[in-house]
Chain A
Amino acid sequence: MKRIYLIAGVMVAIAIALLVNSAKDMSTYGSFADANTSSKKIKIAGKLAKNKPMVYDPVKDPNHFSFFIKDSEGEEHKVVLLKAKPQDFEMSEQIVVTGRMKDGVFVATDLLMKCPSKYKDEEIAIKSKQNG
């Protein structure tokens, strides 16, 4: 057995071990029910509850944006994002928040949102010229 194969073999073993180990860094999208039972950070995917209040008052606190999300199980819950309110937030189709439950509020440190695609926009954007 060549040394180099040995080393390569060891590295492959380490790679597998690391990838297995990195499963710890991964999770499924959770629900608010999961967040209630876990103290770890989780990701929740859901839709913005548009009929619930959305509050961002930078005069009071520029790092406090609160809104409600309906998760995959249909539960609506308050979320506080510790960041500025993202552009086009109201237009989002799906929202993914990363955070944990604190005193009954889901405190998020990160937010990803999916907006309607450009291709869909194209259909709407064909409008007649005003002074054509």
Chain B
Amino acid sequence: MEKIQYIGETLLPGQIGQLGVLLGFVGALLSMVAYWFATQRQETAEYESWRKIGRIAFLTHGLGIFTVIGSLLYAMTNQLYEYQYVQGHVSEELPMKFIFSALWEGQEGSFLLWMFWHIVLGFILLVKGKSWETSTLTVLAAIQAVLGSMILGVYFGFGDEASKIGSNPMLLLRQTIDAPIFAQADYVKLIKGNGLSPALQNYWMTIHPPTLFLGFASTSIPFAYAIAGLWTKRHTEWLKPALPWALFCGSILGTGILMGSAWAYEALNFGGYWAWDPVENTSLVPWLIIIAGVHTNLISKATGHSVRSSYIFYLLSFLLVVYSTFLTRSGVLGETSVHAFTGSGLGNQLIFFIAAFTLPSLIMMIWRWRQIPSPKTEEATTSKEFWMFIGTLILLFSAVLITGSTSLPVFNKIVQYFNPAYQGRVITEPVIHFNKYQLWIGVFIGYFSGFAQYLRFREHNWSKNAQRFAIHVGVALAIAGVLTYLSSLLIQLPTWQYVLLTFSGYFTIVSNLDYLINYLKGNLKAAGSVFAHLGFGLMLVGIMASGVNRKIISSNAFLMDGLIEGGDEEMSKKNISLFKNVPTLMQDYMVTYVKDTLVDFTRTYTVNYQRKNKAGKVIEDFNLYPTILYEKTFTKIATSNPDTRHYWTKDVFTHISALPEVEQNFELKKQREEELKYKPLELAQGRTVLLLDTLEVENRDTVFTRTFQISLESISRNPAHKDYKPEPGDLAFSTKLKIRRSDDDSVYYANPAILLRGQLIYTYPDQIDDLSSKFKISQEAIEKVFAFDNQLKYEDLNLRQGDVGNWQDLKIKFSGFNKNPEHPDYTRKEGDLAVGAMLDISAPDGKVYHAEPIFLIRDGQPLNVKVEVGELGLHLRFPLLDPGKETIQLMLAKSSAPSSIPIEVATDALPSNYIVLEAMEFPGINVFWLGTLLMMFGLGFSIWNRMSTRRTAEVAAA
């Protein structure tokens, strides 16, 4: 194998990329060491030079990682499939706009994205960090070194013991897998890319991962500050610069998580925005902790209390991000997540990642514990800091519970390590489990973030504040009570716990608004916290409305998971089958599957919703367009995308959960079509024909029979069939068949059509799904309807230019000659003298047809080209032209109606014109989105406020 000289490989980008990987790793290590010395020798002359080396090394590291990203992108945009990452994530069909999505789809790419953000954030620290630069960047460089090792892809050890460090994105395909194709020197020409999964080809995949990873990356900065604070013993100073970073992190990580929710809701089909999936949980937990950290940080700044807690929370937030990386990438979650994870072989390395940062954090924390200032005086129970701190404990509490439950597979692994016989445990119903406990977190946080606003830091004079506090809290409680009552008229609050939750949400909303108006007097500068907590309250109410009251339209039950014992089996039935053009009543809506269109690989279904009021007047009428995306082969569905109608007060959500088998797989459809057992029938007009149909009964030796009564209603020479697009010169007709079946009371009509175009016959069958039968016109019918020339009796008609002649019930106007006549049956030859007679034929019903029979002289012989007006059954010839008299002679004939039409019937057709639909209503979902956005806005607003006051202070100081 090694002797092969491969041709067509572009190796340079790979070599440059490899260099970048090494530079990135070594740079990070060097930067860490240099910055460490700089921090240790802060007061000495060496400081400057160590810092300089640290800076250069960090920038070199950045350059290295950017080079890797650059060369990888180069290889991807140029579709160099010899690279394993390119082959795995790009394909010829992949639009350029998704190249970035493809970049971070894979494991290595997402590590690169993470490192990219660290470099950007690190650069800001490098420039703006001042006295914190060296210590924080030591930590960040250490993190980068560990992350950099994840893409190293080197082997160490010997023989079978060799283990791999990292998975390198710049490796060639032939270096990563063994396949017979690599025996060919020109294999590059023969392979193609897998491409990006169609389910990921949307704008969410473009914006969600970068935001989420910026959120993850930004937990590293408060972490770095915390370590730096412990290290340099500046236990109170670090809190100030860390706060804006923590706020930034809270807002970006929160936005990233929300984008994931919005993606799940808008574009995926699990019918909701939160599913307590391990992946969601493990990104939520660091967010909860960083928010707890923000609160203790504020307490510390205002009162000097809770410094230790601030340390713990900021350290923990980053460590939990690392833990989340371990959970989601090591494959340990197994089948507990809907996100398909595979073991990446990095499991041990990820455990090292956790240990490498947890142990030092823990040791430093213990080491410095006694040094960390902690006021001897106790917080007063009437002070703001007391309740804020309790609030952070509740957030921690929530994080512990979520992490505990999510880590169950890890727990199982550990126990099984010691006791292989141990049977792993799983949460039977995760959604119910998480909701049950987290509901209480929501309740407490709701109340606390309401009344704590009214409290003051370092309360020394409670008696003065007490009365005002009591009045405001009392009024807010009263208003919240009224609002909860009013809500209970609109939405269901199924249990007393949910009533409490709603009440708590309203209480926060009311008290924060009140605080903004009566305490802050509308001073928006300090309103970041009000916005964030107001948002939290709205979110609780929104969850109550849209989550708990989510209504399945396509079934008849309110879906409230786990609230009614044993009712969940009825509730899980969420689908309904909709037949094309058959309006079906679903809850209040009359829903109709109108049509579907296939463009490229996407099939778009038009589903019409109509709602009437009691008087029968239509008050709502809209279409939804859920889509099905096929795989390139059209043998499988790649993804089903929902469509949602947005109202201010609710959303109507629809997605296709299944299609008939033949519509999922076009190969199967073709195969089924060929297997149909057609039976011939001769249908005479006005007479009913009986067809005996025998059916085998499943699992029994008997058959049962039923009869079809089929009659020919009419023949139309102007056929309308969904697949037939008329062209000039077509000879086509359709038959209207009336069908009844013995075991069915309804009367059905089928309209199969047939077409003669040029020399080819096309048949257009018609299917009646209710009878599982398919009807088509036999090919022999063509000549019965469009009679042969020798069976026709032609009559002559002489016309002068401009004349109108009568023939039978037709009026024929000869309007002039066409010197350049065209007809499908006529091909011009050199020396031809050809002329067409332009005729306008008026039928008794007022319709006018244009026809142009051709007279020609070829090689001295007079010839003519016949034309047929299919809809009139009229045959026209133009055999003679008298130039002297300027008259033409026409020959006309009409084919008589056929006595009978041969058709074919198959009674074993698979029904194909239905969709299986799932439809839901999310009431008040906008309250949820508004609330969550307000939370993120509030966090962002606080950073802006803090930055601008700091700037003002700096200006004032100067």
Contacts and interface: CB of A to CB of B under 8 A. Distances in A.
Interface string A62-92: 1100000000000000000011110110000
Contact of B428 (A3, A18, A26, A119): A26
B129 interface: no
B335 A43 contact: no
A117 interface: yes
A120 to B, nearest CB: 9
Interface in A15-50: 15, 18-19, 22, 25-29, 41-43, 45
B393 interface: yes
A93 to B, nearest CB: 10
Interface in A87-132: 87-88, 94, 96, 98-99, 107, 109-110, 112-115, 117-119, 121-123, 125-129, 132
B930 interface: no
A82 B572 CA distance: 6
A18 B918 CA distance: 36
Nearest to A65: B658
Name A's interface SS: mixed
Contacts of A112: 335-336, 338
Contact of B408 (A3, A26, A110, A129): A26
Contact of A2 (B190, B336, B378): B378
A18 B575 contact: no
Contact of A128 (B177, B190, B335, B386): B190
A7 B392 CA distance: 12
Contacts of B88: 118, 122
Given A7-B390, A114-B335, A28 B425 contact: yes
A103 to B, nearest CB: 13
B426 A28 contact: yes
B379 to A, nearest CB: 6
Interface of B is mostly: mixed
A28 B422 CA distance: 10
B340 A4 contact: no
A104 B714 CA distance: 54
A14 B441 CA distance: 13
B393 A7 contact: yes
A62 B427 CA distance: 28
Interface string B374-397: 000011010000100110011001
Contacts of A19: 401, 404
Most buried by A among B197, B657, B911: B657
Interface stretch (B15-23, B142-150, B429-437): B429-437
Contacts of A22: 401, 404-405, 433, 437
B458 interface: no
A7 B196 CA distance: 51
A17 to B, nearest CB: 11
A109 B428 contact: no
A41 B429 contact: yes
Contact of A25 (B179, B389, B390, B428): B428
Nearest to B400: A15
A26 B190 contact: no
Interface in B180-209: 181, 189-192, 194, 197
Contacts of A126: 87, 173, 179, 181, 191-192
Contact of B335 (A59, A96, A118): A96
A14 B192 CA distance: 57
B179 A123 contact: yes
A15 B408 CA distance: 16
B95 interface: no
Given A22-B437, A126-B181, A43 B428 contact: yes
A107 B566 CA distance: 12
B658 A56 contact: yes
Contact of B658 (A45, A62, A118, A122): A62
B191 A62 contact: no
B573 A82 contact: yes
B340 A115 contact: yes
A94 to B, nearest CB: 6
A45 B423 CA distance: 12
A55 to B, nearest CB: 10
A4 B378 contact: yes
B237 interface: no
Contact of B426 (A29, A123, A128): A29
Interface string B563-581: 0000011001111110000
Contacts of A110: 429, 572
Contact of B194 (A27, A98, A125): A125
A129 B335 CA distance: 35
Interface in B917-946: 918
Contact of B577 (A59, A94, A115): A59
Contact of A15 (B342, B401, B555): B401
Nearest to B181: A126
B660 interface: yes
B916 interface: yes
B914 A129 contact: no
B728 to A, nearest CB: 35
B397 A15 contact: yes
Contacts of B401: 15, 18-19, 22
B97 to A, nearest CB: 22
A95 B761 CA distance: 49
B456 interface: no
Contact of B911 (A3, A27, A59): A59
Contacts of A114: 334-335, 340
Contact of A122 (B87, B427, B432, B640): B87
B342 A119 contact: yes
A7 B391 CA distance: 11
Contact of B190 (A58, A99, A118, A132): A132
B603 to A, nearest CB: 14
A129 B190 contact: yes
Interface string B556-568: 0000000000001
B428 A27 contact: yes
B540 interface: no
Given A85-B658, A127-B192, A109 B426 contact: no
A93 B397 CA distance: 37
Contacts of A59: 577, 769, 911, 914
Nearest to B178: A123
B378 A3 contact: yes
B582 to A, nearest CB: 12
A119 B340 CA distance: 11
Contacts of B394: 11
Interface in B144-190: 173, 177, 179, 181, 189-190
B437 A18 contact: yes
A62 B340 CA distance: 26
B624 interface: no
B381 A63 contact: no
Contacts of B657: 62, 83-84
A98 B428 contact: yes
B194 A63 contact: no
A122 B197 CA distance: 12
Contacts of B898: none
Contacts of A27: 425-426, 428
Q: Which 3 A-B pairs have the closest CB atoms?
A: A63-B573, A84-B657, A62-B575
19 contacts: A2-B378, A7-B390, A8-B393, A11-B393, A11-B397, A19-B401, A25-B432, A28-B424, A82-B572, A84-B918, A107-B569, A109-B568, A112-B336, A112-B338, A122-B177, A125-B194, A126-B181, A126-B191, A128-B181
Given A28-B424, A42-B428, A112-B336, 19 more contacts: A3-B378, A4-B379, A19-B401, A25-B432, A25-B436, A29-B426, A41-B429, A59-B911, A59-B914, A62-B575, A62-B916, A63-B555, A63-B572, A84-B575, A96-B335, A114-B334, A117-B342, A122-B194, A126-B87
Interface of B: 87-88, 173, 177, 179, 181, 189-192, 194, 197, 334-336, 338, 340, 342, 378-379, 381, 386, 389-390, 393-394, 397, 400-401, 404-405, 408, 423-429, 432-433, 436-437, 555, 568-569, 572-577, 636-637, 640, 657-658, 660, 769, 911, 914, 916, 918
